Amino acid sequence: AQKVTQAQTEISVVEKEDVTLDCVYETRDTTYYLFWYKQPPSGELVFLIRRNSFDEQNEISGRYSWNFQKSTSSFNFTITASQVVDSAVYFCALNMDSSYKLIFGSGTRLLVRP
């Protein structure tokens, strides 16, 4: 069975703190893709990153970084020096070559307080 677990329902931090959002996935496919999306109050899901199962290199984009570890089936997302504009719900998602539908986690609501 395929599944994505985001155990953190809600995280609250003060601006400029670093915060890590956890994502654990399950799949039996050898080829799969992992994603992070941000959903601000407007409702649109904003694409942040896509990773395939053969690329375990960590990635950094500005204040955002991602740590992909196949050994623990995790794809964690870190925001460095958080800002109020980072407040949103963040979703981790998975899809496979056997089925291209996105399987989403339940999301983590991040609140960054000034």
Partner 1 sequence: KAGVTQTPRYLIKTRGQQVTLSCSPISGHRSVSWYQQTPGQGLQFLFEYFSETQRNKGNFPGRFSGRQFSNSRSEMNVSTLELGDSALYLCASKINLNTEAFFGQGTRLTVV
Residues engaged in binding partner 1 (CB under 8 A): 33, 35, 37, 42-47, 50, 91, 95, 97, 99-107
Nearer to partner 1, 16 or 47 (CB): 47
Nearer to partner 1, 18 or 47 (CB): 47
Min. distance of Cβ 43 from partner 1 in angstroms?
Answer: 5
HEC string for the chain? CCEEECCCCEEEEECCCCEEECCEEECCCCCEEEEEEEECCCCCCEEEEEEECCCCCCEEECCEEEEEEHHHCEEEEEECCCCHHHCEEEEEEEEECCEEEEEECCCEEEEEEC
Nearer to partner 1, 15 or 109 (CB): 109
